[in-house]
Structures are given as C-alpha cells and as structure tokens.
Structure 1
Amino acid sequence: MKILKTGLSLVVLGAGIAAVPTQLATAAERPAPADGSSLVQRLKNDAEGAVRLATEPATGKIGFARASRGGDLLPDVRATGRAGAVEKSTTFLDRHARAFGTTADHLREVSTHETARGWAVRFDQTYRGLPVFGGQLVASVDDEGDLTAVSGYVAPDLRLGTDPRISAAEAGRRAVALVRADPPGEGTRGLARLAVRDNTLSIYRMGSVKGETGPARLVHVVEVGNGTTVREMVFVDALTGKSLNRYSMIHHALDRELREAKLENDGGTPDDPSDDEISYTTVYREGDPLPGSLDEDQLNEVHGTGEAYWFFRNAFGRDSFDGKGAKMITVNNDPTISCPNANWNGETTNYCSGVSSDDTVAHEWAHAYTEYTSGLVYQWQSGAMNEAFSDIWGETVDQLNDRYNETPDTVRADGVCSAYTGAIPVLTITAPESIAKECVTGGTLGELDGPVTGEVVAPTDAEEEGGTTTDGCSTYDDASAVAGKVVLVDRGLCTFVEKAQRAKAAGAKAVIIGNREDAPVSFTDADKTLPPTVSIGLTDREAIRTALADGEVVEVEIVDAGGERFDSYRWLSGESDPAFGGAIRDMWNPTCLGDPAKVSDAEYKCSTDDSGGVHSNSGVVNHAYALLVDGGTSNGVDVAGLGLDKAANIFWQTQVAHLTPTSNFVDLADGLEASCAELVGKEINRVTVQPDTTEPATAIAAEDCSSVSAIVAATELREEPAQCNFGPLLRKGGPATCGKGTTSKVLFRENFEDGLAGWRKSERVTFDGGKGIPWRAGRGIGGNDSKVAFDPSDDRGTCTYDANDRSSANAITSRAIRLQGGGKGLRLQFRHYIASELDIDGGNVKVKLGNGKWKVVKPSAYRFNAPNTELLSTAEGNTNPMASEPAFSGTDGNVAGGSWGRSIVDLKKIGAKPGMKIKLRFEMGRDGCGGLEGWAVDDVKIVACKKKAGGKGRREMAAIR
C-alpha cells in the first residue's frame, strides 16, 4: 500500500494487538485458573490471611495475586531491606511461578525500585535465553517485609524453536523499508535518516495486549528511528520475515495535524530531507542565570522541566526519569515535528513554538517516567493508560505551581462542561431520509455560536501533488457553488485551518472535514474568525458523497450540544498553549471534548486509528483520577475526594508496583485497589514542585480505599467496551449446506492433502516487470493442522511501481466439474482463513459456467459468510488488480490474524443448472507493498441437494445413528 498509506496503515500497525481486552470481574470475583487448581491452592496455603486472585484473560493463569490487609503471600520467609525483598520475591516465584504460567528458571530479576512503602521487584520472562516481549511479573514487598502482591503477564506453554531463518540484518532492512514506505503521520521529515536503533531476537505472543490467546512467534523486535520524529517498534517474524506488529514509541501530547514548520535552510523534501540544515545550539545549562536571553517558550521549557523533576523527586523519591539522575534535555521550536505539537522521542522532549505550557512540558517528561517504570505499550488500553498518566502528572504539576494558573479553578459538578472548551458540535444529516442520522464529530474549529443549517456541497479543486480533487486545498473549480452552503472536503495535504479559510473566502457558512477512518479527527477552537468547521468519520463522509453523486440534496444541522457551562479552568489540559487556541482534553468531563468518561460511553474509540484510541480513551483514566482528587457523583456512584496528595501516591504506586507493559484497564483497577491497601497507615509525601521540598502528607486511611473502588465502578474500568462489538470476520456455525429437510451428494471435493495437484496457477500484475506471490500448499496456516491452499499477502514489495512492486493477483483454477442432480439446489462450500490489509488486499471466488466468461461470485449469492467488503478502487489509490471487486479482506476484530470459517454459495443464484460444467477460481490480490498474512482455503466441495427420504427412511437413519 502506498497512496493510501496514512489512512489505512494501522491495519498493519494494529497487527497482533488490535482489540480491546475482554471483560473481567473484580479481583474478588474473578475465578482462579480452571486448569491449575492445585497450584492455586498451594499458593493460598502458603499465604497468611485471605488471598485475592485474578486471572489474566490472555492466558487463563493468575494475573494478580494480592494478600488481604495485614497478610503476607510468603510469611515463612523474612525480608529486610532491598536484598531481603529480592530474596523473598525470588523464593515466592521459585514455588509459585507455574500458577502464573511459567517457571522460575524462565524469570530473571531486572530491577528493584524503592516505593513509598517498600520495594517493587520486577522479573522479566525469558525462553531459552531469549526475552519474551511484555512478559513481566512485579512483586511488592512492604517495609515490614510482607509480600503483599504479585502481578503481571507471562506467556505460558511456550514450545517453539529459537533458530531464526531471517537474519537480524535482513529483519532490520525490512523494518526500515516498512517504516519508510509507511511513515507515521504525513509529511514526516527525516526519513532519509531512518536506521535500526535496536534489534532483539525475542519471543512474541500475539494478542498479549488485547487480552486474547494467540500463537507464540520467534521475532526480531526492531526499533527503527531517526533520533527525532520517528521511533517505531516493528515485530518481524524470524521465520517468515512478515511484519506481525508495529507501534510507535513517539509520545505526543496532542493528536493534531495543524502543520506549521519552517527550517532555516529547507533544502530537502519531506521524503528526502538530506539537504536540510538543522543546527542545535545549547542556550541553557543547569546553573545558568534565568531568564537570561531565553524567550518565553525556552523559559517555559526550562521551568517546566525543573517542575517535573522536583515533583517526582519530592513526592516519590525518583531521581530523574531513569531513577539515576539522567540529564533532561529539551529541544525548543523543533523543525522536525509537525506543529503545533510536542513529543518525547526516547532521548529528548521536543516542542513547537507556542506549545510549552506547564502541563504540556510535564506531560512529555511523564512519558519518559512511564517508559522507565511500567513501560506501557503505546497501543489500545495500555497506550491509553500511558497517555493518561502523562495527562495526570502534567495536570498535577499545573495545579501545584504558580505559573499559568488560570482562574477560576473551582470544582465542577459531574457532567458539566467548562466555559473554556469551546463548542461540542453535533452534526445531524436531516436529508435525505435514507441517510439521516446524528454523526459523531471530533470538536470544532471556528465559532459555533448558534445552530447552523444548510445544504451540503462537495466542490472539486485542482489536484496538487500529494493531494486530491476533493481535499479543499486549491481554488475551487466552481467557487460560486460554495456561497451560502456547507462545504464537504476530505482530510489531506493542507491544514484544517487552510481548508476552512478557503471555504470562508468562497462564502461558505460551515465546513465538514471527512476523515479517512471511521473515527473523526479531534480538534478544538483555533481561530474564532473561521466558519464552524467539524470533522466526521469515513463512513458518514462516504454516505454524504454517495447521496450527492446520486443527485440527492443533502442537508445538515450543526449545533452545540455542550449544554450548561461552568466558569472554571480546572482539569483542562493544554488550555494555556496559545498554538492550540483552547484546551485539548477535559479530564473532569472528557465527553465535553469528544473523549469517553467511562468505558461504555459512545465516545470510546474502537477503531485502529490513533494506535487504538490512545489519546481519546485516556479520558476514562483521566476522569478516574480527577474524581479521586475532587470527589463527586458520576455514573450514579458517589466518590469521596481524597485530594492530590493521596490520589497521586496511589496512582504512582500503581504505576511502579503493579503495571507491566501489556496491562489493561482491568489491571489498573486491580492495581489501584492493591496500592491503596498497601499504603494504608504508611507515610507518604506531599506533592510539590518546589526544589528540595519533602514534607509528610496525611496518611491514607482504610476508609479511603472505598473511594478507589468507587472510581473503578464510576469509570467502568472492569467493563468490556461492548459497543466495539469485536468479533471474527468469518462467523462461526451457520446453516446446513443444503438446508433443513435435505440430504446432499458430493459432486466435487478437494482437501489439498495432495498439494495443488489438479489446479492451474495464474497471475496478473499491475506494472510491467512486476511479480506476484503464487499459491502454495502448506500446513499450520491459521493454526490449521491439515494441508491447505494458501496465497500469502505479506509485507514484501516496495510500492515503487516497478519490478519490485508486488501489485498482483494470483489464482488457482479447478478442472471442469459436471453438475449432476441437485433437484433442491446446488451448493459450493469451502473453509477459509483471511488476514490481510483491510480494503486493499483480499480474496474472492470466481466461476465459469460452460463456455461463458469468468464472473465474480457476488455477495448476494452467498447463503453464509459472504465477502465482507468491496476493495478500494484504483481512483482511491489501490494498485491491486482486483480493485473494486467484492472480497474477503481484513482480520478478526482488528487483530493481527483471523480464524477459520465456512462459506456457502447458492450456485443457482449465479445461473448454474444441473448438467452444466463449472470451473472454480480462488483469487487473492494485493497492492505493491505492506500486508499481513494472506488467504487460505480448504475443504472445498460442490454438492447436489435433494429432499430427504420419507418417514421410514428417517426411522432407519435414526436407528443407524
């Protein structure tokens, strides 16, 4: 995939972990592992006091073990100090590691951190000397020597070879090529400087982050980066060379695309900036006088970095992000990032001009602290927690310091929006009735001071390089048609503000920006002089465009649904950054800016864009923290506020002592409750940003833990986002092949146990000199032990429109099959497995009747499991020779792979009749590069259906059974 890479790349990025964890009960309710009752009982027998156990959804093993208050998971081993904590934790795992899914010889201690009330000892999982990605257990030992909790995830039952077929060098080359062909974001500079920064042969259990069982793979975990804007983790299968997963390690404070970047000497291009000249001059070192010659942004970054340092040092005793006093380097006005924005790239925090407020700077440094503690993977719920912890610590610093303290700062009631978050737009399609609906939007640019109604037009404009004729970035072909109308344009090429400005100049009353994903783009007020400008998702955008193309008149209404507003800046994030023109998130009432406040909210993001909603779904955790601090009533749950000191200590204890890279919201709930219990009666420090200011705070009391349980309930941390409706692409079960009251006679059967004997291979390519990927027979595809026909559609190819481009379609064709009988119908049935780039790559069935032409079997001819989509067209940038055809495409619930299912075709609906001859063709097509696995087919048969025999026959059949 090339032209549409930005809009669809997360089909690849989400591979392996692209779904939300399944629902778990509370720690007190979740059952112990069903397959290890003796191990569980032994653990309980060793403990002093009651033990609460929770299962890890991806494994069915223990994921969280916690002793009741005053209890000890291993009372027969005494522990004093750091060494004692390590010894006690190690002894516990020597005895009980199997209950968690591994053995002690596969665990090694990697760090021991002092916490507010003892020690957190972390153990990484290994297998035959190789690290297991995300496999980590953390043991909490209090200052009295009691082992109070052990939690985490380990991959059980590992049985795989550790000898790679793909070398580390080759894996690195493929990872760099993948990132270069499909870079994060649009117009990313520095692609010419991409290089492998780390490459580790590892064990990767697919599905670990989303909480589902998946196969274990030997992989090269490759970090690809350029030292500034790109830092991607790519998981390359060490046996096949396929990309199994990819996620970004660049942590952005904002999810924006308002681009404004300038270089002193812009001699390069976004794809090849080798002639760019970027110099870095040190303008401040520790001890230099302030403000000196620093401008406002530079001064903010120096002050903000210091405040972040002293916050973590004073309250939690942590010396810089690595705990060892690492230098904290910031880069101001960084030309390598798309502005306005800020990020942590693993080495420095980096800021655009006008993005340097106190909570933003602390937010970015908090990403560094998270990376060096829990290491939460930046995808789906673990990524939302990563982002939320940055919001939490950034806003805590904001409330503690004496800079940018906008007032009033009073507490709001539940469900009330701040007067400073701008409009909360709702766009309703009012006509035509066939597409009438209320569309989810992502915020507004411009002034929405009252309802806006009007007719929608979709003007075309000149197609610039990298743009389209519908992106609104050039002069409209017919500007007169825009005046007084609501303009629909697509996302891409130029900034949102530029699109709105062009529409305003033509007299438009409002602007709709259609995203490339089903989730809308999130943005807030930036320029009150702009017309109301809202974003909608891809499905809604296409519904409007289709209606307009059919000659329908489309009318919409845009209103501000914010309701009551309260005069307070409290819990707004990024509200002081002038480049954004307003807050980017509302932690008290996230729905005011289009983010969820609880898991069941309609705003909860289920799509793969934004790494699975890391910025939006962080609202759930943000709301939990704000509630714990201020108290209130939310979702029908009363919460007694604990204030900043107690809330911050409970959340930090959870972050360092209970969360591991693949933790999810349920783990957070367990960790918060465990942390509160651990801290009861223990000395904690006040939170402060003043240098060397360590003061004791009021101790956490047992009754405070009821507030922790209350925020868990209010935000539904243990609930599954049922609205996402994640499930298999191919439904399970289904009707009998011929239906009730019938029997079947097999006319043709193929199970591929003899390979592809009897099938003819063919190939179509898009570009001269290009080549496809032929079908082959193999075992183990999608976990199927039998031999199947399989056509890969993986990440090989370069999308260069030449001999290295894999834009192709490969097919296998059967011999001619005589259709005999079938008085009650003729059916084609086959089992298959699909895991491909959604809407780009895919497979379908074609048939040829007699001497007729080859035809695609349309979805209407299927009785069960029809093709789920139509591949994107060539006009939409798809170079697949099967573009625009109906096809099986995508994966199960946005995860890396699929699952086997059965499809049934009614051959009568394609014109087949008894006595005819038919040929079958299974064809798999792909674009030039970037893919997942491919399409596998097995157990193909054509049957003739007839009515069952009479009563006597049925009785005889029953007797035989």
Structure 2
Amino acid sequence: MLRFLIGFAVLCLGVTPLSAQSPDWAKSKVFPGQYFLAPTPEIPLADAGEQLPAAIAAALGDTRPDQWRLHRRSVAQNHHHFHHYQQVVRGFPVLGGSLQLQITPEATLRSVSGRFFPDTAFVLPQHLQAPQRALPRIHGSLSPYYPHIGQWNYRIQDTVWMPRGLFPGQASRHDQLAFVMDFTEPGGVQAHRILLDAATGKILDHFPLHCSLVRRLFHRTPSRVNLIWEEGQPFPGILAQEDQEALLATEETYALFWRTFGRNSYDGNGARLNIVTQAQLNNCPNAVASGNRISHCPGVVTDDIVAHEWTHNYLASMNGLVYQYESGAINEAFADIFGEVVDLLNDRGLDDMDQLPRQDCEEANVRWKIAEGTPALESHIRDLWLPECKEHPSTIDSPDFACLPLMDDFGGVHINSGLINRAFSLLTDGGSVDTLTVAGIGLTKSAHIFWHAAQHYLGPVTSFSNLADILEQSGQDLLGADLTELTLVNLPAATASDVITAADVEQLRRAVLAVGLRTPLPCDFPPALNPGRPETCAESLQGTSPVSIFREDWENGLPAGWEVSSAPENPDSWTDKSWRLTDLLPNGRAGTGILAPSPQVGNCQLDLENGLVHLSSPPIVLPAVAVEAFLEFDHYFATESGLDGGVLDIALGEGPFVPVETAHFTFNPYVSPLEGSNLNDNPLAGRAAFHGTDTNSDTGSWGTSIVDLTAAGVIPGQPFRLRWTMGHDGCNGWVGWYLDEVEIGYCDEASLPVTYRSIEAVADKDRVHLRWELDLSENNAGFFVERQGPEENEFRSLAFVPARGYAYVYLDHEVRAGATYTYRLRQRDLDGTESYSPLVAVSLPEPALRLGPNPAGDFLTVHLSDRAGPATGILYSLSGQKMMEFSLKPGETHRLSTSRFPAGIYLIKVGDRLQKVEIRR
C-alpha cells in the first residue's frame, strides 16, 4: 500500500511544495492496481508544464517521473481540461495504468484519478519467445470462437506489461511482458486481440476488438468495387430505404457527438465513417462495429442500432473499454444509451409514442427499447427502462444478473449492461426501485453526465463500483456548467436552458444507489471442489457406518512405505518439483500436508520443465468384509488451467499403475481434460485431471474427493497401491497441488464407542472453524453444535451434524469481529442418550477502526481499537473540504454530531485508515 499525497509533489515550478500549501485534508490513500478518484482542493499549478506528470508520479511513492506519457487531452462542457497519461515502465506501456488530471480554466488542479502499478513489479524476461511460434496454440484456443481463425491475418501491435489480477481468471500470477497480437478476418470486419506472454508464448488473455450487437460472429468485408455511395453524391438518389436509414442515422450520430459534445468523428479528428449494408455476416440477423466501419445484415438497419454500433467505435478510440466482464457490460450499456438517445431525438420509425413515460413491459410504448421495428428481428432486443422485460437485470441483486465465465458472452456483457441502462433511464425519467425513488432530471442533463464520464474518466478496465464513483464525480464536475443542447443536426448547437444543480447530483447519487453499482457482485461462483461432502456410507447396502482401515494426515512426516519420485522429460533443464511436506497450507488450514509445487520456472525454449512427479502409497489390503470400499482425500489445487494438473492412478496386485477414471469418483471428480498434445507438452496432455483454479479467481479452495474403490477394481484380500501424480508443461507455473487427510475404509454396521481425539475452534476472518476428531464411535447418531456468545447466559444449539466417520468440521458464520465465543458438542447416541464434549473458546480479532451507523443520520460513532495507537480523525467532503477534526486514544469511542452536514458521501480518516461514510436525511 502506498500513501498518495495530493500536495506531496512540487507542482508549482520551482516555487512551493503543495504540502506547504495544502492542509492534511488533501491526503488520500491509493492502493497499487486499484482504481482511485481523488478530488483535490483547487491547487494552483502555476507553470508546472512538463513537470506535472513527474510531480504526480512522485506523489505516488515508488514510481519514477519518466513513467507517464501524455496520451491525449480532452475538454469538458465546464471548460475543464483533462490530461490523460499512460503509465510506461522500462519503455513499455502498462495495460490499465493511467492518470487523468482535471485542470480548471484558472490552471488549478481539481482532481486526479486512474490506476497505477509499482515499477518494481515489472521484471524484463531474460529471453523472448518469437510470437509466430505461438500461432498453433492461438489457433487452437480461438477456434471455438472462429472456426477459420487459421485464415485470418495477424499483426503485432505493441508490447505491454500485463499486471497480474487485472481481469477475473487471468492466466498469470505475475506481472508479465506481453505481445499484443491483433488477428483480423480477411476484409477487416471482425478482429480479436491476444495478449501473449513474451517469454513463454502462452496466452495471458484475449478479447474481441469488434463489438457485436447481439453475438460475436465471423464477418466478410466488401471490397472497394462494392462502394455505392460516398459524400458529395446525391441523396437519397436511388438508394434503398435501408441504405438511406444507415446514412441518416450515421449523420445524426456524428452530429450528436460533434455538435453537442465536441468530438469530431470517432477518433476526434474527423475520420471517415464507413457503412456496410446488406453485409453477408455468418449469423445474420446481426450488426457489428470494428475500427472505422459498421456492418449490418439485411433487415438490421434502424437508427438506434446504427448509433449503437458507432458508439462502440467512439468508445474504443476514447477509452478502449475492454470487451469482457464489467468493462464489457459498461461498453454495451453506453452503446445502448446513446443509440437510444439518437432514437428519442428523431421522429423516424415507430417513434410516435416514445415521448410518453414507461410503466411496464407494454409493447405499445417504444420508449427505451433497443431495435424496435427491426424487420429481421421478432421484437426489440433490450429494454433500458425495465431490463427484466428481456430477462436482463435492473439491479445487481436481480435474479437475472448473469455470473458467466469468459467463454459465455465474454462474462455476460450483453446481459449485465442492464444495470447501467436502468440507471440512465431512471435518472432521465425518474421512477422507483424497491423503496428508493428518483426524480428524473431529463435527457439533456443525463446524456451530458454519461458522456462526460466516457470522455474523461472511463479507462480500459472499469468496474461497476468504479463507474459509480465516475458518474457521481461527473455530476459534480458539471455542476452549474453551461450545457450544449442535444442536437442531431450538423450545425453549431445552442446553449441548453438546462443546468445541472445540486439537487440533480443528488438524484444521480440515488440512481446509482438504486441499481446497486457499488453492491458486491452476487457471483458466488462454485469452487473447483465442492466444499460440502455427502455422508459416507449413507447409501450403502452393507451398513451406514464407515470403518477406517487406513489413514494418513502427514503430521508425523512421510511414513515408511510412501515413495516420492520424478519423471522429467528433459532431465538436464529440470527444476526439482517433488512432493514435499509443508505446514504452510492455503486458506489458513491447520496442520501439515504434502505439496507438489508448480513453480514459475522454464521458458518453453532452452529451459523446458515438462515432466511428472509422483506420490505413491504403500500396498494396502482390504479385509474380506470390505465389499463396499471407499477412498477419501482432502486436497487443494491452483494450476495453469488446461496445462498443468494432477491425476490419481491405481495399481492392482502386481499390475502397472492405471488411471482412476472420472466415473470411479462419487464426489468431486476431475475438473476436465487438459489441453491436447498439440497445445500442451505436459506428459498428461489430454487426460482428465484436477487443474485450474476456482471460477473467476487465481486461487483454489479445499475439498474432499471420494472414490469408489470397488468400482475401480479393488478386491478384498488383494493388495493395491495409489499414486497421486502432478504433471507440468514446459514453462511457467502457479501454486501446485496440496494433499492432506487420506482415508480408506468400507461401510459396515456401527459398533464402536465414542471418544474424542481432539476438538478445537479456530478464527478465520469473519467465521469460526470448529473441528473435532474421534478415536472411536459406537451407536453415534451425531452432534449438536452449541455456542455461548459474549452477551449470552446460556448455550444455544446452532446445528446438528450427523455421524459420518472420525473427522468433522463445522463453519460458524454468525460471529462478529472482536467477540469471544465458547463452543461445545452435545453428542447423541442412537438410543437418545446424550453427553457433552470439553469446552473450547475462540476470539475473533477486532478491526482497528469501527464506524456506525453507516449510513449515518444525526450522529456517527467512531471507535478505535485498543491495539491501535493514538490518532487524529478528520471528516472530509468528497470535494476535499475538512468538515471536522477530533482526536482518539486506543480503545476510545467518540460520538460525532453530523446533523449540520448535508446528505452525501464523506470520507473519514483516522490515522492512516480511510473509510467512506454516507449521511442521509
């Protein structure tokens, strides 16, 4: 974490450090890799000139002055200038690294926003892979999207730094140098961008550069001989109706963005606008945008679709919003919004009722509907007023919100755009979402706020929560500014009578709140391993009690009979990756386990690291009564998806090791097959394996896999061995594969008494893990988990855990930080007899700073942990104004009066801790 000090740098050329001019309330925290927007007091810049980015860089802490390159300048409706800087490290731009400086006409700094990455994270690789060598891998990976990708042209556009964790599920745990390769369909309509690891040739990320209205398709581009009209020729002449509509809507879109907002064509420099109608796209009906043109299938030419597609090209040139996940949904929404603005402002098509307010999903009123009246489509495709009419979400907590992987609509870009669409229509027309009512501010003011956000603040990687901050800041920026009238006529536009007021900014805040842009995503993506587990022997025909005959938990080292071995493909360059004992288990798991590491080694050129590492058990023999035998093992994996992974093999009698098949697992089987040998040099290529990470994450989680040993061929009385094998490809790595408790047993009648081996309660962030193990169990029905809290006089029952073996875990989520809880188990026999376990207690750590209530009304309580040092507290407005100051001692609580402050968002800073506070009236 770095402290960003607005006022730390010398911005006044050779005059006075800003820290001497600005009080402490000009300070904000900035975390590397996270978007920030820091309003500043209007600090005079004097003649800072070229020293400005250097001074800002110094204010960021560990960055160098030469890291920032001026990318573009823009001017807002309030005449504020925005300077957009690209972060550059060791001569290469950083994807997502940017600074936006807002400068007033009086040459004062108004705000700084963007995202930066510490330069120490970027290390140049020793060797570079020729990008052409990766073509087979790229073709194989993209062929599910584009079957004829092998016939496409490609070009290396740039070399950039790819910060780790920039996108969900990104295939890298490190900051890596990447080649930017653009693949373009012959003719140029459709294009796709690949970010390729410059050292290894592996694909780090990929996304389309064309924007499809409904789907991503394969397109053909017409040649010059198919030109039917160009500027200066008679209009409409003999043009077909669709050709006329395409030209008219293009002119209207151009006029809206140029005459209203001041951007001359999509590139800002008056570039030619190319239009293709009667396009022969593979999956018509459809329309696409790419670079300097839009292409429409027959029957898919309406004003809002044309404006939608052109808006994609404007966004690509202005801010390069990446077309996946939240950034892609924002991209789609802004295209819908300005497509509908054009539709609402003209009088063509079915627009005879679009001036009337909407109430529900009725078909008669076409206001806020995208692609209504399109001949080739059955009906409109999206609804900005009520997205649920098309099964799209109005709010983040809507059941229609789509938690999709990258392969599916690039993370739901056409679905989750409904959030932003609803925010715009709600802000424009007013309405209610649940119990929150928004008073509409009209189309002119809404359009200016959203354009201002797109032109001056949006970056390639923008989340919903980032957008919430950006929209609210845009409203503040335009407060009281002269706005230009919305126009579709290519003539200078008049000044609008509408002026954005503080009341309008409040409605903007309410609209953002109503759709939940700052609400955490509801995407509880299932982990790679199901954390639950079925009751062992619950469906057994032999008996419901599991009888254990073999257990290993690694707590006493590697036992006799276990073997560790390696089988590298290239012994001369092999780095040892053997299974090894470790007590540093992921996710805070206690005890010792065994790990097959997957280190970041190799370069897939001279240093090839592909090979296998094995962990083999001693011979095990089932008793004659074990006719329903099982294997259970707890494990965790986080590997390069599709490339590195682990498998389980079994050797029966004196036979060789053979695969335990997916069908032999009864719970938590293999994830999927690894990439085939044409794309993967792992010796396990093509085999079903445990690989990858949890969905949309770069880590894994613990789970138990269960194997039906009888189905796998194990016979009572015959020895067998098990082997866990981790396979590596030629280079790179991730975390590896952890193995913990291994148990083999069979199902039989219950016949053992109950005794405890251990019972413990462990705090883990906002929950408690209660674990207990048994040595023996007889007639055991199960356990009631009971807890006594800090303000409770008695124990209360939380849950009943049925008997299912010897090791148990219960997760208690209903706990709070700073509190101590006592647990016990009330064990019940099959005949109803009950007994209690020993007591165990656990304390959850208290947060250093606690605020409440939040949102606040007339007062706000601030508590400083007794573990913290004395601190000064300051309450700021979002504009940076200090509202109050107070002192806190460790363990002290202050009740602050906030009744005199207007409603809004504030920042409270106590020592080096910063939190957001909302005051409501």
CA distance in 2, matches of 1:38, 1:89: 15
Is 1:215 the counterpart of 2:12? The answer is no
Is 1:846 the counterpart of 2:669? The answer is no
Structure 1 residue aligned with 2:322: 377
**CA positional deviation for 1:94:** 3.9
User: More displaced, 353-362 or 901-910?
Assistant: 901-910
- Cα pair 2:189 2:295 within 8 Å, conserved: no
CA spacing shift, 1:92–1:631, aligned 2, 3 Å: farther
CA distance in 1, matches of 2:4, 2:244: 61
CA distance in 2, matches of 1:302, 1:691: 13
User: How do residues 770-789 of structure 1 correspond to structure 2 at under 5 angstroms?
Assistant: 777-778=576-577, 788=596
Among 507, 512, 521, the alignment partner of 1:707 is: 507
- Cα pair 2:640 2:691 within 8 Å, conserved: yes
User: How do residues 462-541 of structure 1 correspond to structure 2 at under 5 angstroms?
Assistant: none
Structure 2 residue aligned with 1:612: 411
CA spacing shift, 1:669–1:826, aligned 2, 3 Å: closer
SS of the equivalent of 2:60 reads helix
SS of the equivalent of 1:224 reads strand
User: How do residues 38-49 of structure 1 correspond to structure 2 at under 5 angstroms?
Assistant: 39=5, 47=22
Structure 1 residue aligned with 2:156: 198
SS of the equivalent of 1:894 reads coil
- Cα pair 1:387 1:614 within 8 Å, conserved: yes
Structure 2 residue aligned with 1:240: 200
Structure 1 residue aligned with 2:215: 255
CA spacing shift, 1:780–1:203, aligned 2, 3 Å: farther
CA spacing shift, 1:900–1:244, aligned 2, 3 Å: farther
Structure 2 residue aligned with 1:572: 369
Give unmatched runs, 5+ long, in structure 1: 1-34, 264-275, 420-566, 763-770, 797-808
Q: Which has the higher strand share?
A: 2
SS of the equivalent of 2:507 reads helix
- Cα pair 1:748 1:943 within 8 Å, conserved: no
Is 1:64 the counterpart of 2:41? The answer is no
Among 395, 399, 407, the alignment partner of 1:602 is: 399
Structure 2 residue aligned with 1:93: 56
Is 1:888 the counterpart of 2:663? The answer is no
- Cα pair 2:485 2:494 within 8 Å, conserved: yes
- Cα pair 1:384 1:615 within 8 Å, conserved: yes
- Cα pair 2:189 2:289 within 8 Å, conserved: no
- Cα pair 2:633 2:739 within 8 Å, conserved: no
CA shift digits 1:860-894 (9 cap, x unpaired): 9999x9436466999xxx9x999998742443223
CA distance in 2, matches of 1:202, 1:685: 38
**CA positional deviation for 1:588:** 0.5
SS of the equivalent of 1:402 reads coil
Structure 1 length normalisation: TM-score?
A: 0.63
Letter in 2 for 1:652: W
Is 1:159 the counterpart of 2:121? The answer is yes
CA spacing shift, 1:313–1:745, aligned 2, 3 Å: closer
**CA positional deviation for 1:593:** 0.6
Among 758, 773, 776, the alignment partner of 2:565 is: 758
- Cα pair 2:82 2:101 within 8 Å, conserved: yes
Among 718, 725, 743, the alignment partner of 2:524 is: 725
**CA positional deviation for 1:305:** 1.2
CA distance in 2, matches of 1:728, 1:793: 27
Name which one, 1 or 2, has greater alpha-carbon Rg.
2
Structure 2 length normalisation: TM-score?
A: 0.65
CA shift digits 1:721-766 (9 cap, x unpaired): 22x203653589999xx999x9968599679xxxx9734579xxxx
Structure 2 residue aligned with 1:417: 361
Letter in 2 for 1:418: E
CA distance in 1, matches of 2:337, 2:757: 71
User: How do residues 356-367 of structure 1 correspond to structure 2 at under 5 angstroms?
Assistant: 356-367=301-312
CA distance in 2, matches of 1:779, 1:593: 53
CA distance in 2, matches of 1:277, 1:108: 38
Q: Which has the higher helix share?
A: 1
- Cα pair 1:205 1:216 within 8 Å, conserved: yes
CA shift digits 1:338-372 (9 cap, x unpaired): 31111111131111111111111111111111011
CA distance in 2, matches of 1:812, 1:91: 50
**CA positional deviation for 1:205:** 1.2
CA spacing shift, 1:38–1:156, aligned 2, 3 Å: closer
- Cα pair 2:645 2:691 within 8 Å, conserved: yes
Structure 2 residue aligned with 1:524: none
CA distance in 2, matches of 1:125, 1:632: 42
CA distance in 1, matches of 2:758, 2:260: 83
Among 902, 906, 920, the alignment partner of 2:723 is: 920
Letter in 2 for 1:580: L
Is 1:308 the counterpart of 2:253? The answer is yes
CA distance in 1, matches of 2:27, 2:507: 19
- Cα pair 2:621 2:720 within 8 Å, conserved: no
Structure 2 residue aligned with 1:800: none
Is 1:836 the counterpart of 2:666? The answer is no
Q: Which has the higher contact order (CA 8 A, sep 6+)?
A: 1
CA distance in 2, matches of 1:841, 1:335: 41
Letter in 2 for 1:205: P
- Cα pair 1:750 1:940 within 8 Å, conserved: no
Letter in 1 for 2:205: N
- Cα pair 1:354 1:578 within 8 Å, conserved: yes
CA shift digits 1:844-864 (9 cap, x unpaired): 21222543675655889999x
**Count of paired positions:** 699
CA distance in 1, matches of 2:222, 2:34: 54
User: How do residues 308-387 of structure 1 correspond to structure 2 at under 5 angstroms?
Assistant: 308-387=253-332
Letter in 2 for 1:576: G
Letter in 2 for 1:589: L
Letter in 1 for 2:519: E
SS of the equivalent of 1:218 reads strand
CA distance in 2, matches of 1:924, 1:385: 40
Among 105, 111, 119, the alignment partner of 2:72 is: 111
Letter in 1 for 2:215: D
- Cα pair 1:777 1:788 within 8 Å, conserved: no
CA shift digits 1:411-457 (9 cap, x unpaired): 4455x1132xxxxxxxxxxxxxxxxxxxxxxxxxxxxxxxxxxxxxx
**CA positional deviation for 1:228:** 2.8
SS of the equivalent of 1:614 reads helix
SS of the equivalent of 1:616 reads helix
Structure 1 residue aligned with 2:843: none
Is 1:225 the counterpart of 2:188? The answer is no
**CA positional deviation for 1:286:** 1.4
SS of the equivalent of 2:352 reads coil
SS of the equivalent of 2:121 reads coil
CA distance in 1, matches of 2:265, 2:504: 30
- Cα pair 2:3 2:60 within 8 Å, conserved: no
**CA positional deviation for 1:409:** 1.8
CA distance in 2, matches of 1:950, 1:688: 75
User: How do residues 626-637 of structure 1 correspond to structure 2 at under 5 angstroms?
Assistant: 626-637=425-436
CA distance in 2, matches of 1:873, 1:77: 56
**CA positional deviation for 1:142:** 2.6
User: More displaced, 910-919 or 227-236?
Assistant: 910-919
Structure 2 residue aligned with 1:586: 383
**CA positional deviation for 1:814:** 5.0
User: How do residues 158-197 of structure 1 correspond to structure 2 at under 5 angstroms?
Assistant: 158-163=120-125, 165-167=127-129, 170-175=130-135, 178-179=138-139, 182-183=142-143, 185=145, 191=149, 193-197=151-155
- Cα pair 2:645 2:674 within 8 Å, conserved: no
Structure 2 residue aligned with 1:692: 491
CA shift digits 1:179-222 (9 cap, x unpaired): 4763464666xx46412233322210132144999521121121
User: How do residues 728-747 of structure 1 correspond to structure 2 at under 5 angstroms?
Assistant: 728-729=527-528, 746=554
CA distance in 2, matches of 1:291, 1:704: 42
